[in-house]
Amino acid sequence: MEAAQRREEILGILRGSTQPVSASTIAGRFKVSRQIIVGDIALLRAANHAIAATPRGYILADATAQAGRLIKTVACRHGRDDLLRELYVIVDNGCGIIDVIVEHVVYGQISGQLHLFSRYDADCFMEKLEKEKALPLCALTGGVHLHTLSCPSEEAYERVLSALRKDGILFER
């Protein structure tokens, strides 16, 4: 198979999925290395395809804007010990966490794609942080960060705000 044809088929796989697809899964389908797929994704991005890399794999960026859902932003502040609690509060109240954004003193805005929609997703994210001994982005900013949320309704968003406020996680001045 030609590389260009493989890249078109990768786009087809991503278009057909509402969940992230790992580079290893794609590599297995084409019987190539994971690194080949990483390179293919880089070339697809360079060709202006909006592909987001999440902790669980690749997803088309427009797949996060699910039909009929509101996109909202919330400001939070907490230490490492409250990270999982924050994620649970959001998903338990019906919203999904699309990304995390911090404002770095040197680099400006830095964002990381999360795509967490359940406790299972949150647990997998935390396991990966632990396994890789990685710090969350909010460690760069004293715990202050933003999340872009995908919410089924304004009511769900208000529930998230109320629960984060109650837990002392919502960042308000």
Query: 77 with 38, same domain?
Result: no
pLDDT for 39-69, tens place per residue? 999 999 888 888 888 888 898 876 555 667 8
The answer as to whether 31 is a domain residue is yes
Query: 75 with 128, same domain?
Result: yes
pLDDT tops 60 at residue 130: yes
The answer as to whether 173 is a domain residue is no
Domain CATH for 15: 1.10.10.10
Query: 144 with 73, same domain?
Result: yes
Sign (positive or negative) of CA dihedral 135, 161, 62, 27? positive
The H or E element spanning position 38 is helix 34-46
**What is the pLDDT of the chain when averaged over all its residues?**
91
Query: 21 with 50, same domain?
Result: yes
Domain CATH for 77: 3.30.1340.20
Residue 50: predicted pLDDT: 86
Query: 115 with 161, same domain?
Result: yes
Which among 45, 62, 79 is the end of a domain?
A: 62
Query: 89 with 150, same domain?
Result: yes
Please give the average per-residue pLDDT across 101-113, as a whole number. 92
Query: What is the rounded CA–CA span in Å between residue 69 and residue 71?
Result: 7
Query: What is the rounded CA–CA span in Å between residue 9 and residue 149?
Result: 30
In the sheet that holds 108-116, the strands lie side by side as 70-77, 144-151, 96-104, 108-116
Q: What is the pTM of this model?
A: 0.79
Domain that holds residue 96: 65-166
- In degrees, rounded to 5, the angle at the alpha carbon of residue 49 between the alpha carbons of residues 43 and 50 is 120
Percentage, residues of the chain above pLDDT 70? 97
Please give the average per-residue pLDDT across 62-79, as a whole number. 80
Number of domains in the chain: 2
Side chain identity at residue 165, one-letter code: R
pLDDT tops 80 at residue 151: yes
